[in-house]
Amino acid sequence: MATRSVAQLAANGKRLKPNDVVATGSCTTILQVLPEQHLAVYFELLGQVGRVFA
């Protein structure tokens, strides 16, 4: 999937740049998480997972 997307960019004379974000699939909006912030997600039937970022 990501390879095809990059190929489509190249076919249109475009390319990925340093620090571009590539999301191959997401169930939420892409968020910027800063150092020392805690991010937690809850999935019904699966549970919750969280992380504090360094």
Give 26-45 pLDDT, tens digit per residue: 777 778 889 999 989 888 89
User: How confident is the model at residue 1, as a pLDDT?
Assistant: 56
| pTM over the 0.75 mark | no
**What gap in Å lies between CA 1 and CA 9, rounded to an integer?**
13
Give the pLDDT band (50/70/90) at residue 52.
very high
Task: Report the pLDDT averaged over residues 16-25.
Answer: 81
Give 5-15 pLDDT, tens digit per residue: 788 888 999 98
Residue 48 has pLDDT above 90, yes or no: yes
Which two tokens mark 28?
């939420």
Domain ranges of the chain: 2-52
